[in-house]
Structure 1
Amino acid sequence: MNVYGVVGWKNAGKTGLMERLVTEITGRGVSVSTVKHAHHSFDVDRPGKDSHRHRVAGATEVLLASRNRFALMHELRDDAEPALSALLQKLAPVDLVLIEGYKRDSHPKIEAHRAVTGNPLIAPGDPTVRAVASDTPLDLDRPVFDLNDTAAIADFILSEVGL
């Protein structure tokens, strides 16, 4: 499975870049799935709904299905956060999986960077960051793209993974 990450500090433009990349790449006929790392507790369910009641009652997994989509919720309870590699195995086969976050994992990545945040670049200390998408010119030892040049960034990623 081809995987490529988008990393960066908070408010660097990661989610916007991910959204634009999914639109651009799927528009080229390439199937894409995404993985998003959340640093905090999150819930896709709502209190009072049957599926939420099942989870609260102690179910390890709840699969919620309709004719439009399904969602499998797995409660970790006492388990540690699963490794990215284990999560990737749960996805159906696609041409490319774009990963938002997981900056410490070893897959290839592009860093989203916005100067206004004042955060340092990740790229100089991380060889898995193969390029940077920035809203300001940078002098680096790897490609730097305009953060809004989605087509060029997509070209780079697809070339990197051989698609």
Structure 2
Amino acid sequence: MKVFGIAGWSGSGKTTLIKALLPVLSARGLRVGTVKHTHHDPVFGTQSDALLATAGLVETMMVSTDRFTLVHEHQGQSEPPLPSLLSALAGIDLVLVEGFKFSRHPRLEIWDSALQHPLMAVSDRSVRAVVSDDSGDGLSGLVIPRFHRHEIMPIAEFIVSNCIPLSELE
């Protein structure tokens, strides 16, 4: 399993980019998975499922004819580190890690000046490239590759060339 991240501030277009990348990466024969960091509670199938979690349930699996999902309750413990979370995935060639913008895995940053957040690539060496359609001063002086949002094939190639094995993840 190899790992590469897609980071950016909320509303920057991380999920939209991943959605565009999936068919390109899959066409290369890769089995792609994602891990997404969220500030919201994962959605339970029913309110009774949520009640089980508050009653002390540690894990629950919801299964349908098309998919299953596994929800693990932290039960007051800290959020597990990214390598621990990724080790729970099976049969995946490439994991796109969405969010986790302060972890140290290689990633690209999606940046939009309209969101008025700082460009992480300026001070974060884990950011290996920037995806932005902006042409403003915020991007001047960058010494890492830059892509426009519509450059899906080159972005996919960059990801495949710069992903790391799970074993190298800190």
| Same fold? TM cut 0.5 | yes
5+ residue gaps, structure 1: none
The equivalent position to 1:61 in structure 2, one of 42, 59, 73, is: 59
Matched residues in 2 for 1:111 and 1:127: separation? 11
TM-superposition CA deviations, 1:24-75 (whole Å, max 9, x none): 211322110000001x2313214444x3343243211111223321111111
Q: Is 1:75 aligned with 2:77?
A: no
1:109·1:131 contact (CA, 8 Å) conserved in 2?
yes
5+ residue gaps, structure 2: 165-170
Percent identity for Structure 1 against Structure 2: 40
2:45·2:62 contact (CA, 8 Å) conserved in 1?
no
Counterpart of 2:147 in 1: which secondary structure?
Answer: strand
The equivalent position to 1:154 in structure 2, one of 153, 156, 168, is: 156
The CA RMSD measured in Å over matched residues stands at: 1.7
**Greater Cα shift, 104-113 or 131-140:** 131-140
Q: Could you say which residue in structure 2 is the equivalent of 1:35? A: 35
TM-superposition CA deviations, 1:106-147 (whole Å, max 9, x none): 110000011222222100101110000001233310100002
Q: Could you say which residue in structure 2 is the equivalent of 1:127? A: 125
1:76-115, aligned counterparts within 5 Å? 76-115=74-113
Counterpart of 1:71 in 2: which secondary structure?
Answer: strand
Query: Alpha-carbon deviation of 1:11?
Result: 1.7
Tell me how many residue pairs correspond in the alignment.
160
Counterpart of 2:130 in 1: which secondary structure?
Answer: strand
TM-score in terms of structure 2 length: 0.86
> Post-superposition, which runs of at least 4 consecutive aligned residues in structure 1 deviate over 6 A?
none
Matched residues in 2 for 1:47 and 1:70: separation? 14
1:63·1:73 contact (CA, 8 Å) conserved in 2?
yes
